[in-house]
Amino acid sequence: MIYADYNGSAPLHPQVATYLKQRIDKGPYANPNAIHSLGQKMLMGFEKCREICAKALGADSTQIIFTSGASEGISQVFHSVLTPFSQKKNIIISSNIEHSAIGHAWEYYSAMGYEIVLLDTKASGVIDIENFKNTLSAHQGKIALVNIMAANNETGVIQPFSELAKLCSAETIPYFSDTTQLIGKSSFHFEESNIDYAVLSGHKLGALPGVGILIAKDPLSLKPIIFGGGQENGHRGGTQNYIGAETLAVALTSVLSEEEQTQLKITKDLKENFEKNIKKRFPNTVIIGEDVDRLPTTTLISYPGIHGQAVQIELESEDIFVTTSSACSDNEPETSKVLSAMDINDDIGRGVIRISMDTKSDQDSYLKLEEALIQAYSKLEKIKSY
Ligand SMILES: Cc1ncc(COP(=O)(O)O)c(C=O)c1O
């Protein structure tokens, strides 16, 4: 079996699995807010996890807020920056390549009165900096929030997030970047990035699902969306998901270790070789974002005229699991919004499959994938499906 949907969700990282097995048997279990010694021990362990995650992410531990995942972090950033509604600063600048978790936030805040200005990307999938600068100056003094993601979940294309953040910082505009896909697969240092708010989801990194992090440059700017008992310094109530946080600390430490970062470079080479071989065999295939900086584990490939879902089914019959774009829009047989923002036509757009591999992939996996994809394309090109 080859699981190639890591951008959707990663299986438990082997180090996390090992950790959890002994953790479940040994305990301890207690409420970290209890004043008895077991509770205090839990709290100390939980705070240690915060320190580990902060160090791995280039942030101060006071800037780390444990959440249930990226969607919660996104909701909290929007809520913190955009309530109450301000008539004076009523513009949100974002892009047409954001994840649907952000798209649904726009719907809510536009009903509140905000105007959402959405940028397309260049054909490469990268935000056009000149267009970005012009948009900032066209709305000077009226911008409440800028949010442009760091790496796209469908294409893997990496955005110039630090540069965009710097431009916003110069105008004291809050800049939020959805870093869910970037962290662990490309270098990231919160403090150096100039970003005001960033988010991540544990299950994208091999930690347990149901835990995530919101990083805030100024945590005092946050407003809670869960009041609870004042946990997380009042930023996020509810008894802490301490086991989730432990798995996140283990996952981040492992993924960012020197050993795994070396493996990631190997994965990048294997991926590039795989793409080159497929293109050599089928010169009309298109690799989205081919010429720009992408996540080392993501390939979004299309054979124009062959439907992505047909390819997906062929691969699944070989026990290889890919998606046609993002997991959330997998049953929409249309060109995705992300690809439309790159001005990609339907012939290419409906043909894509997303292959998102483990950061520690080996040659054998890529060879099997290559063989199966060659077989699928060879079969399907004889009976082009639309
Ligand atoms: C870029 C991006 N942002 C946000 C999310 C939402 O993450 P979660 O569903 O874990 O909250 C995802 C998940 O696919 C994503 O890829």
Mean pLDDT across 151-170: 98
> What 3-state class would DSSP assign to 109?
helix
Q: What stretch of H or E contains 255?
A: helix 242-255
DSSP H or E segment with residue 178 = strand 175-178
Mean pLDDT of the chain: 96
Q: Give the β-pairing of 298-302 and 352-356.
A: antiparallel
Largest CA distance in the chain: 70
What amino acid is encoded at 337 in this protein? K
Asked whether residue 332 carries a pLDDT value surpassing 90, the answer given is no
68 lines ligand 1 (CB under 6 A): no
For ligand 1, atom 7, the nearest C-alpha belongs to 70
325 lines ligand 1 (CB under 6 A): no
Say yes or no: CB of residue 5 within 6 Å of ligand 1: no
Tokens of 160: 């110039």
- Ligand 1 in reach of 201 Cβ (< 6 A): yes
Beta carbon of 155 within 6 Å of any ligand 1 atom:
no
Task: Give the pair of three-digit tokens for residue 89.
Answer: 């600063």
Q: Which residue, judged by its Cα, is nearest atom 14 of ligand 1?
A: 8
Answer whether 181 contacts ligand 1 (Cβ < 6 A).
yes
- The predicted-structure confidence for 213-238, as pLDDT tens digits, reads as follows 999 999 999 999 999 999 999 999 99
pLDDT at 189 over 50: yes
- Please check whether residue 215 is in contact with residue 64, taking contact to mean a CB–CB distance below 8 angstroms: yes
- The residue nearest atom 9 of ligand 1, judged by CA position, is 71
Q: What is the predicted pLDDT for the residue at 384?
A: 73
Instruction: Quote the pLDDT of residue 382.
Output: 87
Q: Is the pLDDT of residue 330 over 80?
A: no
Residue 386 alpha carbon to ligand 1 centre in Å? 31
Cα-to-centroid distance, 201 and ligand 1 (Å) = 7
pLDDT in the model for residue 334:
83
- Check if 92 has its Cβ closer than 6 Å to any atom of ligand 1: no
Is residue 328's pLDDT more than 90?
no
pLDDT in tens, 242-276: 999 999 999 999 999 999 999 999 999 999 999 99
Tokens of 7: 């951008």
Ligand 1 contacts CB of residue 10 (under 6 A): no
Q: Two tokens at 230?
A: 């004042």
DSSP letter assigned to residue 199: E
What would the pLDDT profile of 10-48 be if each residue is shown by its tens digit?
Answer: 999 999 999 999 999 999 999 999 999 999 999 999 999
Q: How many CB atoms lie within 10 A of CB 326?
A: 22
Name the residue of 71, 158, 295, 330 whose CB sits within 8 Å of the most ligand 1 atoms, as the mutation to test its pocket: 71
Binning pLDDT at 50, 70 and 90, where does residue 383 land? Answer: confident
Q: 92 with 145: CB under 8 angstroms?
A: yes
Q: Is any atom of ligand 1 closer than 6 Å to the C-beta of 69?
A: yes
The atom of ligand 1 lying closest to the CA of 74 is 4
For atom 13 of ligand 1, the residue with the nearest CA is: 8
pLDDT tens figures, 269-300: 999 999 999 999 999 999 999 999 999 999 99
Backbone angles phi, psi at 277, to 5 degrees: -65, -40
Beta bridge partners, 18, equal none
348, 290 Cβ separation under 8 angstroms: no
| Whole-structure pTM value | 0.96
Distance (angstroms) between ligand 1 centre and the Cα of 328 equals: 9
Quick one: which of 99, 215, 116 has its CA closest to 165? 215
pLDDT at 327 over 80: no
Q: What is the DSSP letter of 157?
A: B
